[in-house]
Amino acid sequence: MKLWGGRFDKDTDKWANDFNSSISFDKRLYKHDINGSIAHTEMLNKIGILNQDEADLIIVALSEIKSDISEGKLQFSNDAEDIHMNIEKILTEKIGETGKKLHTARSRNDQVALDIRMYMRDEVSEIMKLVADLCGTIVNISENNYTTIMPGFTHMQPAQPITLAHHLMAYFEMLRRDLERLSDCGKRINIMPLGACALAGTGFPINRQFIADKLNFDSITANSMDSVSDRDFIIELCSVISIVMMHLSRLCEEIILWNTVQFAFAEQDDAFSTGSSIMPQKKNPDIAELVRGKTGRVFGNLMAILTIMKSLPLAYNKDMQEDKPVLFDSIDTVKLCLPVFNSMLDAMSFNKENMYASAGKGFTNATDLADYLVLKGIPFRSAHEITGRIVSYCLGSGIPLERLSLDEYKKYSDFIEADIYEFISLEACIAKRNTEGGPSADSVLSHINNSKEYLKELIIPVYEY
């Protein structure tokens, strides 16, 4: 008989039973479910619902069940529907009638809300560690390439010269924001819902703060109906993970481009590349492409949980059982992608000569020519027009700005002198952009050093039970 089957005259249909069951995916919550039940047992003992012998018996049995599950000694049953009822069933079979007292003053509605929050806060810490590791790799590569000149792009067209370090440190900033979002999201996850029961709390004199303290929660939920019907924290984490994946995907796209023969800025290590079954010359960036592809999967999970929740009245509805597969998949996917992406990036080699040569194409120093004219006293709009006409002439002649003769420059402005060549060199273009956040060596090194300090001081929470 089901643990809830007292008012039913018929057994559940097999198809309905299997359809209703969630043990296939929520079994991963077993540690959190048992840790929550142990804290609940201690609270029931504290308020006199369980005597000391009963509490000790339940706690020892739950600890043994946790070990047995970890070691693969126990099989879960679809008939018991979910992880909560499976563990309660195993407990009752193990210790008898005393096990039936565990569920006093709680419901599966607040129990699953507790379990998922405990699981998520642990996973947030794990994801933060992986993002921080990737940040460290980016800093290391940048420190070795703060003078490696490459073209910067807008609209995928050559724009201005920058350095590889400056380019990669832009991704550091994206990932730093991801770390901040993960940390902030963790604050809204770490709120204790147990005690809300099905939706209206309980008449027993429970001590919710006692459980919150035992389980290292920062606070307790303020409304019993919201406690069991809230999935904002799941939506928020799925959103944050989507943003992390979007950032990985953007860098993957650039890595894929950089590894093409046309760009030849970088080369993937053989350990992170694959070949073709028909074309023997191929070296494909499959890891980067897979991370880019899995980003769409994570975006889909976010849309799924938003759609699941969009029309649900208060309080708990069975629809909400579908929150876990999408959450678990997003967490699993980002944890799968981050370490392999990090290793791939760390093993990549960069073709500095090709990057430098590419930075010299496409008139990336044209803005500096205009700036030069401004410094000579010409209004910027006029300087912009003059520079545009010079670039047009160079395009027609097939020569870059630095190879124009001074006489040719003089045809467009008498203000241009021999110092123009030094002013528009790639090195000078970068060096003079020395403001905070700019690509100059000093600015980038300052950014790198500040980033090292940030990573050193980053606090990633660890929860003890």
For residue 120, give Cα distances in angstroms to 111, 137, 189, 206, 451. Answer: 14, 26, 7, 25, 27
Lowest mean pLDDT among 3-7, 149-153, 181-185: 3-7
Supply the residues annotated as catalytic: 155, 276
pLDDT bucket at 11, cuts 50 / 70 / 90: confident
pLDDT bucket at 1, cuts 50 / 70 / 90: low
- Does the domain formed by 137-196+228-358 have CATH 1.20.200.10? yes
The pLDDT tens digits for 237-267 are: 999 999 999 999 999 999 999 999 999 999 9
Distance CA 269, CA 283 (A): 10
pLDDT bucket at 464, cuts 50 / 70 / 90: confident
Torsion, Cα of 28, 32, 34, 39 (10° steps)? -170
The reported pLDDT for the residue numbered 79 is 87
Name 251's Cβ contacts closer than 8 Å, sequence gap at least 6: 171, 345
Query: 149-154 and 157-163: which strand pairing?
Result: antiparallel
The pLDDT tens digits for 87-100 are: 999 999 999 999 99
What angle in degrees, to the nearest 10, is found between the helix axes of 52-70 and 83-95?
120
> DSSP readout, 232-287?
HHHHHHHHHHHHHHHHHHHHHHHHHHHTSTTT-SEE--GGG-B--SS-TT--B-HH
For residue 241, give Cα distances in angstroms to 95, 115, 136, 174. Answer: 42, 20, 19, 13
The reported pLDDT for the residue numbered 12 is 64
* pLDDT at position 442 over 90: yes
Residues of the chain with CATH 1.10.275.10: 16-104
The pLDDT tens digits for 197-243 are: 999 999 999 999 999 999 999 999 999 999 999 999 999 999 999 99
pLDDT bucket at 125, cuts 50 / 70 / 90: very high
The reported pLDDT for the residue numbered 408 is 96
The reported pLDDT for the residue numbered 6 is 62
| Coil/strand/helix, residue 129 | helix
Distance CA 390, CA 408 (A): 9
The pLDDT tens digits for 281-333 are: 999 999 999 999 999 999 999 999 999 999 999 999 999 999 999 999 999 99
- Does the domain formed by 16-104 have CATH 1.10.275.10? yes
